[in-house]
Chains A and B, each alone.
Chain A
């Protein structure tokens, strides 16, 4: 008999790569070493590339990354997608702009460093401009191919593995969530009345999706705070489907409010910071605190189960 384990732990230096490959027709192929799991990486990466290159997002074809074409850039974990992938996209786009500016600078009669990229065109200092498409055509003519691989390496941190001291990561996120709830005296059932979250996201690349991550994270947190539980019997898991493993339904959740705090991080090329986990982590403690305020009971195990409810409840429904 052998024991086997796999883990992802004490980190090395984080990095991510992105490839931008502009085609002769001016369409932009983008590949990033961050996998899309539905969290909106595709749209965030495309928006960042479009913004940096001053082009319309319609030009961009986001290609599902493969390690055969873009360096393996690690996993979609640790809320690193937008900060690391977005960093790589921004670095790649800046490198591409340098190459394009070199080719365009003669036509624009200005130094390459002064070329501005906006409205699908390149602008010189005196109002001269050349379209993005025309610049790409000139590049192919000159056999200077508009293909770049940008790499963002996370800045070094002061973390010391042996002493366990120092900064473990190069940027930090800040957030706060609040919840209002009632506890039914007879059943112990917790009903959420409202929840509000404020998070420092660095830069909200795609604000609707940022809001979506707030709400999704809070919903998942409400689920594991109040109902979600993997149960087992005789060593076998019994909660095998969605009828027994109860994730929140729409009527389990309250109206939620998202407050986006923008505070671009200078260490992150795109200014964006992490969001996935922060939104998921702090509603459960808020719910536990609200339950304490309502009932005086300090619940330390999730999911919170308040049955049987103690007699000392003063009212039929205790409201925070």
Chain B
């Protein structure tokens, strides 16, 4: 079974296919950004992107991502550690408090802005509806996504995050 995670190709034994995907990522690959919170696909803390679409993986198996392109929060920053403009906006606008929902929020927002870089505030609010946050009231998360949308209006935003260096967003 072939997996493609954060730009890395890997081969795993087919017997691994039935393993819970969240446990595989967190325990086997040490990609601990995705969190297992509700374990029933209700809260979105486990969200990753599969072929650029959000997927709640606490209810998925390893075989579900075989042959697909996977992006986790660990793949969002540039290889040199520079944060993605979306991540940077979260930091600057206070969109992170306890941080538990943040990886899922960022990935959902990333997938959304790739499709809708000119989204309105109301559309952004709807786009993160599947992801729960107990700390922020979503207000600054929406602020951050709105600011980061500037980056997604640039042509290079379509590139896989792991393949590019980021240009800073000028502050409004």
Contacts and interface: CB of A to CB of B under 8 A. Distances in A.
The finding on whether chains A and B are genuine partners in a shared complex, rather than unrelated, reads yes
Interface of A: 37-40, 208-209, 211-212, 214-220, 241-243, 247-251, 253, 255-256
Nearest to A43: B94
B38 A250 contact: no
Best-surrounded residue of B42, B94, B130, B142 (most CB of chain A within 10 A): B94
10 closest A-B pairs by beta carbon, nearest first, are A38-B98, A208-B94, A215-B137, A219-B137, A215-B139, A250-B138, A242-B42, A243-B42, A242-B38, A212-B94
A218 B132 CA distance: 15
Given A208-B94, A216-B134, A250 B40 contact: no
5 contacts: A208-B140, A211-B140, A242-B40, A249-B129, A256-B137
A244 to B, nearest CB: 9
Contact of A249 (B97, B98, B132): B132
B136 A241 contact: no
A208 B139 CA distance: 11
A219 B138 contact: yes
B99 interface: yes
Best-surrounded residue of B38, B40, B125, B126 (most CB of chain A within 10 A): B125
Contact of B125 (A209, A218, A247, A250): A250
A92 to B, nearest CB: 25
Contact of A212 (B43, B100, B140): B140
Interface size class of B (residues with CB under 8 A): 20 to 34
B40 A241 contact: yes
A250 B128 contact: yes
Interface of B: 37-40, 42-43, 92-94, 97-100, 121, 125-126, 128-142
A247 B134 contact: yes
Contact of A40 (B97, B132, B138, B140): B97
Contacts of A241: 38-40, 42
B54 to A, nearest CB: 14
Contacts of A211: 94, 139-140
Nearest to B131: A250
Contacts of B125: 250-251
Best-surrounded residue of B37, B42, B138 (most CB of chain A within 10 A): B138
A253 B137 contact: yes
Contacts of A218: 137
Contacts of B132: 242, 247, 249
Nearest to B130: A249
A216 B42 contact: no
A38 B43 contact: no
